[in-house]
A and B are shown apart, each in its own frame.
Chain A
Amino acid sequence: MSAPFGALLGRDIRLAYRRRGELAMPAIFFVLVTALFPLGLSPQPELLRSVGPGVVWVAALLAGLIGQQTLFKGDFDDGSLEQLTLCPMPLELVALARVASHWLTTGLPIVLLSPLMGLLMDYPGEAMGTLALSLFLGTAILSLLGAVGAALTVGLRQSGMLMPVLVLPLAVPVLIFGAQAAAQAARAEDPAGALYLLGAMMVLGISLAPFAIAAAVRVSLES
């Protein structure tokens, strides 16, 4: 069972590497959106410090959605997805492998870039670890949620804005607790509660989302 999982993950990461120009887009988008706020608001350190966690989190949320629509689209269009439903690995594991490769190629770069963006928003250096940790958990949940949306809309011809509209409302709790954890850490308060909740959401997502994704993929392939 683990050989096909590894093969699929390896294939996806190799594909992502072959198209690394595209791959860099979410990270660049994340940096650009965050950088726009000091320009659009005003670069006063007090203001940036108060909106910083929220801005970084919203930028990460939007950046995560980019590229998520194509999570199953490529495999759907070229016929790989129907082949994957026939392989010995359960479709739920196929879904998990796709989510994992998506997170490794888009979520992880955002997490790694977040301290830099924190610096831009005058976020305190000693809380930077919490910002990155909250985004680590958050981007993983968003990858899982987005994959459900992507699987539901993969068979539609004009799915352009539908997927963000489906997924963003579901992402609200993640945003609330993620930004709260980052803000609490910035005020030198204990962010443990919000982080635990994020962790719980991630565990829930990892255990339930693959089933939803697999069911949605089956329905999308049916007609």
Chain B
Amino acid sequence: MSSEFEARGIGLWRGDRCLCRELSFDLGSGTILQLAGPNGVGKTSLIRTLAGIGRLDEGKVLWNGEDARRSAAYLSELIYIGHHNGLKAHLTPEENYAFYRTIAHRPTEVSAEQALMRCGIAGFKDRPVALLSMGQKRRAALARLLAARARLWLLDEPLASLDNDGVELVAGLLKTHVSAGGMAILVTHQPIAIAGVKLRQLELGQTA
């Protein structure tokens, strides 16, 4: 199995603190990597860097063997859902979804109605996001996973504020994604069980 995604010798410094050095791993079709480690160890910094947003101090991120930083080929295969939801508080979940589908590299045919139904917030689709609960906002953000075709999902704390049903939802979305040949990197503290998929773990904070 070839590994499309490869991180080679990653080193991250924030201020005068070294978050990681010489970190290398790869990811092939159908695999999920879980980034673990105590709070403040640099998981969010790492995943933001992998998404091409955070600063990369050492090493390389490769997509199909080519440098992934700001490469259109990489970005068109990527969905990143960060710590922040990326939703506009004054727009409804439906409008937010429609916006992200329009600016997606390769939008899917999934309508806002269908996506929000899948994420269990169809009943709130025309209320401003500001009026939703934390968990509902997270669900509205996760709906974006259905808006674009992408092989790599980078999810920072996807389970934050979600109830048990929401955790099931994320597991279900990941299972569908992985069985279609996708891959994902998750930052999460909670154990997440995905039937038939083996989670690889990467523990941060042991290097340096």
Contact = CB atoms under 8 A, between A and B. Distances in A.
Interface of A: 3-4, 7-8, 11, 14-15, 18-19, 74, 77-80, 82-89, 221-223
Nearest to B45: A223
Given A87-B104, A88-B72, A88-B105, A79 B90 contact: no
Interface of B: 14, 48, 51-55, 72, 75-76, 78, 80, 82-91, 95, 99-100, 102-105, 128
Given A78-B88, A85-B52, A222-B54, 7 more contacts: A8-B99, A15-B88, A18-B90, A74-B88, A82-B48, A82-B86, A222-B53
B148 to A, nearest CB: 10
Contacts of A78: 84-89
Nearest to B51: A86
Given A77-B84, A82-B80, A11 B72 contact: no
B83 A223 contact: no
Contacts of A82: 48, 51, 53, 80, 82, 84, 86
28 contacts: A4-B102, A7-B102, A8-B103, A11-B88, A14-B91, A18-B91, A18-B128, A19-B90, A77-B84, A78-B85, A78-B87, A78-B89, A79-B83, A79-B84, A80-B87, A82-B48, A82-B51, A86-B52, A86-B53, A86-B75, A86-B78, A86-B80, A87-B103, A88-B75, A88-B103, A89-B103, A222-B53, A223-B54
B91 A15 contact: yes
Nearest to A87: B103
B74 to A, nearest CB: 10
Nearest to B86: A79
A83 B100 contact: yes
B34 to A, nearest CB: 22
A221 B55 CA distance: 8
B54 to A, nearest CB: 6
Please provide the 9 A-B residue pairs with the shortest distance between their CB atoms, ordered closest to farther. A79-B84, A79-B86, A222-B55, A7-B102, A4-B103, A87-B103, A18-B90, A83-B86, A88-B105
Contacts of A84: 103
Nearest to A16: B90
Of the candidates A18, A19, A74, A89, the one having the most CB atoms from chain B within 10 angstroms of its own CB is A18
Contacts of B54: 221-223
Contacts of A86: 51-53, 75, 78, 80
A11 B91 contact: yes
B46 to A, nearest CB: 13
B63 to A, nearest CB: 13
Contact of B86 (A3, A7, A80, A89): A80
A32 to B, nearest CB: 26
A8 B91 CA distance: 13
Contacts of B55: 222-223
A80 B53 CA distance: 12
